[in-house]
Amino acid sequence: MNNAETRKKGFTLIEIVTVLAIVAILTVVAIPVFTGYVTKARQEVLNYNQSSLGTIVSIGDTLDQLPNINSGNATQNRNTIAQLIIEGNHSFINPITKSTDIISTTQAGSKTSAAIVIAQRNVSINTAVNNQITNLWPLNAAESSKLKFKGTLIIQICNDGYLIYSYPAYGVAQNIKQYPGLGY
């Protein structure tokens, strides 16, 4: 056996380094693209959930049962809405945590996340929308609970109707939909 035959049976260092460089380049290109697809998919799930919930609130058979801000205390109203959604066999999923729980903000300390968080503010829809930092989050939750809302869809009872919006990231209210006068 001569040296030429021995050399042909293995890979050279240059060939190995070249393959590793190509794999590294492909990885650097693929990771951001994949991350973008994941983010887009999560947002599409939130948009679908929001559209479904808007349909339930605006034309659903529970419309006459929706509480207004004077129907009871905040906890009773939150529980009523949650129960109407559950009894109607409507399901939603948090695209980040995969949770399907429907909870109120008072339960956020004991839950890691929820698909829908129900909040109540004694303000008009316009006031809530125009002053989002004060009125759309932190949704009566403790500072330590704010991160648990990532990926949730939120129903908020206002003086004159409902707001439904996505909470895709810490401190972000997105796709705010107004439903004035429902249940009022």
Phi first, then psi, for residue 99 (nearest 5°) are -70, 145
Structural domain includes residue 16: no
- Residue 89 is assigned to a structural domain of this protein: yes
pLDDT tens digits for range 87-116? 777 778 888 888 888 877 767 666 766 777
19 found inside a domain: no
Q: How far apart are CA 56 and CA 140, in angstroms?
A: 24
Q: Is the pLDDT of residue 126 over 90?
A: yes
Q: Is the pLDDT of residue 11 over 80?
A: yes
Strands 116-120 and 152-158 turn out to be: parallel
Can you give the residue range of the structural domain that contains 176?
A: 35-180
Cα angle value 116/145/67 (rounded, 5°): 40
Q: For residue 154, which of 94, 87, 89 has the smallest C-alpha distance?
A: 94
Q: Residue 21 falls within a domain, yes or no?
A: no
Question: Does any domain span residue 2?
Answer: no
pLDDT of 49 reads 83
Residue 23 pLDDT:
93
Of the CA atoms within 13 Å of residue 133, those in its CB half-sphere come to 0
CB 84 within 8 A of CB 62: yes
pLDDT for 184 = 64
Give the tens place of pLDDT for each residue, 33-59: 888 888 888 888 888 888 888 777 665
What's the confidence (pLDDT) of residue 16? Answer: 92
pLDDT digits (tens, 9 = 90+) for 130-166: 988 778 865 556 666 667 778 888 888 888 888 888 8
Residue 127's pLDDT band, with cuts at 50, 70 and 90, is very high
Per the prediction, the chain carries an average pLDDT of 78
Is residue 42 in a domain? Answer: yes
User: What is the number of domains present in the chain?
Assistant: 1
